[in-house]
Copies of this chain bind each other. A is one copy, B any other.
């Protein structure tokens, strides 16, 4: 997974049926020192991530919902899978949501 900062949202009304109800975030990746990179991804969000939060991005698909048919695979290739609390390298913090992010 890669780490990215939530920057904004993307709206699409004319889309594939499988995309209905999928919230789309525009996120920007950070490098190994926590600096923003000039690289974005549009990710599906099912965890309710907010602007400026740091998230984990997986490029795997959404698991089919347990109450839908196995063949209903949504055409998603990137997904917010967790909001990051801390990143610790050795004895130092690279990132802490408590310090850097305020509601």
Chain A interfacial positions (CB closer than 8 Å to B): 1-3, 7-16, 18-19, 24, 26, 28, 31-32, 38-43, 46-48, 51, 56, 58-64, 66, 70-79, 81-90, 94
Contact = CB atoms under 8 A, between A and B. Distances in A.
Given A9-B88, A75-B79, A81-B19, A61 B63 contact: no
B79 A8 contact: no
Nearest to A93: B8
A17 to B, nearest CB: 9
A81 B14 CA distance: 9
A7 to B, nearest CB: 5
Given A1-B43, A19-B81, A32-B28, A75 B88 contact: no
A76 to B, nearest CB: 6
